[in-house]
Homo-oligomer: A and B are copies of this chain.
Amino acid sequence: MAKVLKTKDKILNAAERLFADQGFELTSLRQITGAADVNLASVNYHFGSKKALIQAVMERYHAQFMPELDERLKTLEEEGINSTEEVLSCFVGPLLSLQRINPLGTEIYLSLLGHAYSEIQGHLRRFTMQNFGHVVQRFFHCMQQANPHLSVATLFWRLHFTLGATVFAQVSGQALSEIAQADFGESATAEDIVGKLIPYLAAGIGAAEVSASARL
Interface residues of A (CB under 8 A from B): 22-23, 25-26, 89-90, 92-93, 114, 117-120, 152-154, 156-158, 160-169, 171-172, 175-176, 179-180, 183-184, 186, 188, 193, 195-197, 199-210, 212, 214-216
Contact = CB atoms under 8 A, between A and B. Distances in A.
Contacts of A158: 196, 200
B207 A203 contact: yes
A156 B172 contact: no
18 contacts: A89-B216, A93-B216, A114-B168, A117-B172, A118-B118, A118-B171, A154-B196, A157-B180, A160-B168, A161-B169, A162-B165, A164-B166, A164-B172, A195-B212, A195-B215, A199-B214, A204-B204, A204-B207
Nearest to A214: B199
Nearest to A166: B164
A11 B116 CA distance: 29
A175 B117 contact: yes
B180 A153 contact: yes
Nearest to A90: B216
Nearest to A117: B172
Contact of A153 (B154, B169, B186, B210): B186
Contact of A199 (B162, B176, B186, B210): B210
Contact of A216 (B92, B169, B188, B212): B92
